[in-house]
Amino acid sequence: MNHSSLSTFLRPVLSLALVASGIGTAQAAVSVCVDTSSPTVEMDKAIAAAVAKQQNTTLTVHDFDGTGDDEEGFDLKEFNAMAAKDCQLVMGFPVDASSSGLPEGMKATSAYGRTGFVLVTPVAAAAHSLSTLPEGSEVAVAYQTTPNLYFADHPKLQASVHPTNDAAISALEQKKVGAAMLWRPSVVGYLAKHKEAKQFDYAELNEPHARWNLVALYDPANAAAAQAFETSIKALQANGTLGKLLDPYAVAVDDQAKSVAAAPKAAATGADNKAAGGNGEAAGGAKKVVTGSGEAAKLYTSAQAERGKADYAENCALCHGDTLSGRSGPALKGKHFANPAANFHVGDIFTIVSQNMPATQPASLEPKVYADIMAFLLQENGYPAGDKELTFDDAKASKEPLIYHGASK
């Protein structure tokens, strides 16, 4: 089964199990790889076609299936190899607009589009922000996607977790829930397939990590092709072609991107700008930062991690495994858990742990115990011990990137 991990918070987004399928070497002037499991695949193809046309040349499209087919999920090496060999550009890679992160060794074009998570409500009871939903509303989300985090800041809402975006919107359609928080391209895809289900309204979520840039990834050797792509995108933007192609998927630019830890309450103001249409503008803001190479901070002491180890064994191991490699719950160590591309911070994961875990008795442990367990998780993900203990408040506020730094020593 799908081993969930931090990266799977973005599963509908970063579906990157890059199993390259029957591929030849690219010869055409424009060649792209597209993820057939991504809800933006048709748009990505259409944009690539428009770029090729703009360059007055031909287009080769290599399909790959980005859904994980094994426990390891995607393999970055395979991904890099694909980008080096099979196409100049890998379309449709979402980059968190409030931070950034790319697979190591890869470069990204500036954003050609923007999309994100939206609040979907029935037209008859339309709401445009979480704070305007009636108290006690049940809100459907897809398993381990970013919006699962939003319940922490909106305790009056009830989470209804579904295996996929389609299942979540279907629950809304059947009136089992009052609203849903979903990846906009998935909603667009669902509504296209279910023509009868037209009675929905959707609005941008003004919440942390809700907005994403779409970029194309490329191997540094293909820098010239990437530059030509960017030039074409600008031209397509200027003549309105790009806006039309992006329109159903687009969300507006968010200048006040906040992280979960920094935003205990999402501001109600500004949250009700309707998403309908979007502005289709390609924001050139994708930062070309490769995370994961920095020095890991010393956030805890080894004595604390030792205590955390015992607390973990008692409270968490049953579901997450004695060695943190996962059982009924996902793995809590390794590059898929602490994946730089997911752009989560220590504070984000600590919020999940302290508010949702143990899954059977959420928030039932002492604050100090949660902090100790977090120390143990950090140790197991290769963070070095220091001489200051991690406190509950520090853990919650921590902006330290959650990145696997290798096996603990």
Q: Which residues bind ligand HEC (CB under 6 A)?
A: 4-6, 9, 144, 315-316, 318-320, 328-330, 332, 337, 349, 352-353, 356-360, 373
- Answer yes or no: are the C-beta atoms of 348 and 402 closer than 8 Å: yes
Closest CB to ligand HEC among residues 236, 371: 371
3-state secondary structure at position 377: helix
> How far is C-alpha 370 from the chain's CA centre?
25
Minimal distance in Å, beta carbon 377 to ligand HEC?
6
Nearer to ligand HEC, 252 or 349 (CB): 349
Comparison of 121 and 354: residue with beta carbon closer to ligand HEC: 354
**Rounded least distance, CB 214 to ligand HEC, Å:** 23
Cis, peptide link before residue 358, omega less than 30° from 0: yes
CB of 332 to ligand HEC, least distance (A): 6
Please report, as a single letter, which amino acid is at residue 128.
Answer: H
Burial 240-259, CB ≥16 within 10 A → b, else e: ebbbebbbbbbbbebeebbb
CB of 292 to ligand HEC, least distance (A): 17
DSSP string covering 304-368 = HHHHHHHHHHHHTHHHH-TTSS-SSSPP-SSTTTS-GGG--BHHHHHHHHHHH-STTSTT-S-HH
User: Rounded to 5 degrees, what are φ and ψ at 399?
Assistant: -100, 5
Rounded Cα distance between 289 and 362, Å, is: 35
Residue 55 or 355: which CB sits closer to ligand HEC? 355
- Joined together, the tokens standing for residue 58 give 């031909």
Q: How far is the CB of 381 from ligand HEC (least distance, A)?
A: 11
Which residues, 6 or more positions from 339, have their beta carbon under 8 angstroms from its beta carbon?
Answer: 5, 6, 7, 403, 404
Q: 403 with 352: CB under 8 angstroms?
A: no
Q: Which is nearer to ligand HEC, 185 or 326 (CB)?
A: 326
- 112 vs 344 by CB, closer to ligand HEC: 344
Min CB(15)–ligand HEC separation in Å:
15
Cβ atoms of 106 and 217 within 8 Å: the answer is yes
Cβ proximity to ligand HEC: between 180 and 252 the closer is: 180
Nearest distance, CB of residue 327 and ligand HEC, angstroms:
8
372 contacts: CB under 8 Å, gap ≥ 6:
304, 305, 307, 308, 311
Complex with ligand HEC: residue 5 or 165, whichever CB lies closer? 5
Closest CA to 115 of 258, 213, 6: 213
Measured from the CB atom, the residue of 245 and 374 that comes closer to ligand HEC is 374
Nearer to ligand HEC, 262 or 359 (CB): 359
Per the DSSP assignment, residues forming a β-bridge with 108 are 217
Tokens (6 digits) for 77:
């090496």
Q: How far is the CB of 373 from ligand HEC (least distance, A)?
A: 5
Shortest Å, Cβ 364 to ligand HEC: 9
- Min dist CB 353 to ligand HEC, Å, is 4
Q: Is the dihedral of CA 176, 182, 188, 190 positive or negative?
A: negative
**370 closest CA partner among 327, 315, 296, 303:** 315
